[in-house]
Structure 1
Amino acid sequence: MVKSFRGEIEEKPKRREMHPVLVADYMATRLVTFHPDQSIYEVVHILLARKISGGPVVNAENELVGVISEGDCLKEVVRGKYHDMPVLSGKVADHMAKDVVSIGPAMTIFDVAKLFLERRLRRFPVVLEGKLVGQISQKDVMKAVLKIKG
């Protein structure tokens, strides 16, 4: 307590200033991306070699145009069941998801966590001014939470 001419004044404990925890702070920026004209065969090879389950599809200007996943590739394999031979033909553009939910880098970790629960997705591409700048996963959000807590 501090005494002054006004009597005793109780000092308030200093509050730590809270800054929003942003997607930009925790998103992955070194991504494996695919192009619409790549073959499904090539995509499967890359997915297996990189041990990933999918990735964003971008055009020549690095604009997000879709997402390709293991599931999309499996659909192509199933087409081959009629020939008793897996088929891995076709292009990414023919099999990718085109209605992709993306987010901005200024979104908070808490808002994206809520969006993960609502949309039941494992990752979101991060887009700024129409260009792909990163990707955030549920695991990235969990890492952010542990860091904040610590």
Structure 2
Amino acid sequence: MSHRIAIASDHAAFAMKSEVAEWLRERGHDVLDLGTNGPESVDYPDYGFRLGRAIEAGEAAFGVAICGSGIGISIAVNRIAAARCALVSEPLSASLARQHNDANVIALGARLIGIEMAKACITAFLETEFLGDRHQRRVEKLSNPQGA
């Protein structure tokens, strides 16, 4: 199944983002590349916010956020209420993020995992469906912390 996927990174992950974007296109996905567009130093929150806002605006169904560790950009993405970003480093976590948390963005650490593991995580993420059922009410609470 083909998806519209937003992708963003900081300078530390520019090379991985570029390779992942091309790989996704080769697999028939429509990729919305939100930058960065080179190895010059940038601030990861700016790109995490861009990705989260693209999800919020419906510009993409899923997102891939990449920085050196994956931590900073995932925090930035999660500041946008419509985005549910999970930092993953192996395929099982990527699948569980979709199944149980209805994650619509995954974050990867370019300095921590290689390109083949990144691709394996993204594949697991995109091929896994949200289970719904008892998980639905929990996911709803993620967007409404005042109601919990």
Shared topology, TM-score over 0.5? no
Q: TM-score, normalised by structure 1?
A: 0.30
Larger relative contact order, structure 1 or 2 (CA cutoff 8 Å, min sep 6): 1
- Structure number with larger C-alpha Rg: 1
